[in-house]
Amino acid sequence: MTRSEIKQGLIGILSSKDILGVNLDASTINDETSLKNNLKMDSLRMLNLLVAVENHFKIVVNPQNLTMKDFDRFSSLVEYIENSLKAA
């Protein structure tokens, strides 16, 4: 899966009302988008996001390998997914 495909899949997940509780305009998301500050993600939304990421990308998110840096920006979460797919 290419980085572009990962980005599009993640944008689709974040655009879902199930994750953020609102319909998000996908055009507002870019590599520098802060998940916490720009998208107002709290811990519950982060958990929902992780489950959706696991289901969509068919990966297992290992909580021991996660850091807050992985959720800092959209690009860091894309990188985490990309690395998880390579390791699978």
Q: Go through the domains of the chain in sequence order and give each one's CATH number.
A: 3-87 (1.10.1200.10)
What is the structure's pLDDT at 55? 96
What's the mean per-residue pLDDT of the chain? 91
What digits encode the pLDDT tens for the residues 47-75? Answer: 999 999 999 999 998 888 888 898 899 99
The band of 9, judged by pLDDT with boundaries at 50, 70 and 90, is very high
Q: How far apart are CA 21 and CA 70, in angstroms?
A: 22
Closest CA to 73 of 37, 44, 45: 37
pTM of the model: 0.90
Torsion of CA 69, 61, 7, 80, to 10 degrees: 40
